[in-house]
Structure 1
Amino acid sequence: MTDLLQVYDAEVRGSFLNRLPPGWTGTSDGPLARCLTDRGGFAMFVDDATALSGEDLRGLVDRTFAFFQDQQRPFEWKTFDHDRDDLRPLLIERGARPGPHEALVLGETALLATDAEPPDGVIIREARQRTDLERIAAMETEVWSEDWSWLADDLQARLRADEPITVLVAEDGDDLVSAAWLVPLPGTRVAGLWGGSTQSSHRGRGIYRALVARRARLALDRGYTILQVDASDDSRPILERLGLRTVGGTVPYLAG
């Protein structure tokens, strides 16, 4: 597990500022990446912060909150279970609110590149058209009971990137019942598995597993030998049964 966590820190976190999503601009403040995004702001340690004194860390946190306040932007500070212990109390002290904990899951792509197929009546296909992206956003809005309309623009921008994502949808007749996308991380061995939300009427039927297998095969074809997922409580057990390992966790802290 330690080796996979080291891969994540070196290749995923460490390369973050070199592969920002479309529409993001970023700078560094010591070990911290600080970004302006289409929807607000984002901050995350991308390098080892253990050398910072307590006073230095407090100053970094103060500067970051002041920066986004000056920009009049809400922001997310993505924290990790293996970040230093005194970070989260400083975020809470400044009014940041923790979001749901997700498991940090990694493993060899080949373990997931199986021949798993969706249940009878459900088809999986690649989606690129704007109408499909809007259907995905509408489905996510229904699943999560919050406005995900922004997702159509986000996916469209990522499809136009130099190293584009691959978006898959699962359909039962005319109904879009799940969607997921493969996010390659250029310059690394790692690709991310994002999405995977499924309508409640179709959960527990193997659709998520089939989407994982299809994306893993695509990742191997593109030369990505390690997969990474920020996994919910629903998806983590499936991924672990398929051979991936939980190496840590992540919690977003929301401010503004």
Structure 2
Amino acid sequence: MDLPRLIQRYNQVERIDLQLPGYQRFHNDQRVRLLSADRHGSFISYFDVSANDADALIETEIAFFRERGQAFEWKLYDYDQPADMAERLLRQGFVAGEAETFMALDLAKLDADAMSGPVVTRVQDDAGLVDAIEVQQQVWQEDLSEQLAYLRQALAAEPDNLAVYVVYLDGKAVSSSRVEFNGASPFAGIWGGGTLAEYRGRGCYSALLQRRLLDAKARGKEYVIIDASPMSQPIVARHGFVPVAMTTPYLFTP
């Protein structure tokens, strides 16, 4: 895999040109900002700034969101410049989240084997979305009501760009995940994978991963990307994903 070319394409399509349903997009020569209608969910998608101007850019974005009373995320990839951007964000009051490994799979190398493991259900009604989010809330011990609102809005606005999956065992939802296709982008992003602790080791995550990879290949995508946690990284690596960069989210809350 040609990683420099992949990074260049990813930055252009998934960070610079990114548009999301329900978000306002603001862009100039220094940054791309996605503004959510909710108090949370806004983020800086991309930035290109010199070391001399970096602090001023951060202050401008803080002022913009503070005036609106909204939190926002500034996600850094370890190849972003300036190299000390993380320290600059922390000095301005951002809080670092958990670092993850940004990984990619070249779908041309995917073996399209038959599905194995537990049955994976694609959910499209509201009850299914609630099931998917309730699993994630139990896994991560977080209130994900705003993520549920995002999924509802995204499916209503662009149903072909999002697929949400749930594994049901013993009559209840025990594992869930999603894949986002972003129109004509060559990338499909897989997010939100999680399994209830008592059901781990039964192949749920691998079945969800396999289903998403096959669906992405069927859609003609070239790559599947993931921000892999330490728990999921060895699983996706066994399926051929390779590390591209380390990513860390930085959150500012007024």
TM-score, length basis structure 1: 0.89
Aligned residue number for residue 238 of structure 2: 241
CA distance 1:6–1:67, shift in 2 (3 Å): farther
SS in 2 for 1:253: strand
Q: Which amino acid aligns with 1:4?
A: L
Give the counterpart of 1:205 among 198, 202, 207.
202
Q: Which amino acid aligns with 1:153?
A: A
- Show the 5 A alignment for 1:67-78: 67-78=64-75
Q: Any gaps of 5 or more consecutive residues in structure 2?
A: none
What's the offset of the Cα at 1:189? 1.1
Q: Distance in 1 between matches of 2:14 and 2:211?
A: 26
What's the offset of the Cα at 1:12? 4.9
Residues 17-60 of structure 1 deviation map (CA, whole Å, 9 limit, x = unaligned): 544222111111323111211343211325xx3xx432212221
Task: Answer yes or no: is 1:156 the counterpart of 2:152.
Answer: yes
Aligned residue number for residue 27 of structure 1: 26
Aligned residue number for residue 105 of structure 2: 107
RMSD (Å) for aligned C-alpha atoms: 1.9
Task: Answer yes or no: is 1:91 the counterpart of 2:58.
Answer: no
Aligned residue number for residue 46 of structure 2: 45
What's the offset of the Cα at 1:15? 4.3
Residues 141-197 of structure 1 deviation map (CA, whole Å, 9 limit, x = unaligned): 111112112232221222233342111110103110111111102232110111211
**Contact 1:12-1:190 at 8 Å conserved across structures:** no
CA distance 1:56–1:100, shift in 2 (3 Å): same
| Identical positions, percent | 29
Task: Answer yes or no: is 1:62 the counterpart of 2:56.
Answer: no
SS in 1 for 2:240: coil
**Contact 1:177-1:199 at 8 Å conserved across structures:** yes
SS in 1 for 2:161: coil
Q: Distance in 2 between matches of 1:8 and 1:26?
A: 22
Q: Which amino acid aligns with 1:167?
A: V
Q: Which amino acid aligns with 2:148?
A: A
Q: How many residues align?
A: 248
What's the offset of the Cα at 1:100? 0.1
Q: Distance in 2 between matches of 1:241 and 1:113?
A: 15
Q: Which amino acid aligns with 1:101?
A: A
**Contact 1:184-1:190 at 8 Å conserved across structures:** yes
Q: Distance in 2 between matches of 1:11 and 1:83?
A: 13
Q: Distance in 2 between matches of 1:142 and 1:89?
A: 32
CA distance 1:111–1:228, shift in 2 (3 Å): same
Aligned residue number for residue 123 of structure 1: 119
TM-score, length basis structure 2: 0.90
Q: Distance in 1 between matches of 2:111 and 2:101?
A: 18
SS in 2 for 1:68: helix
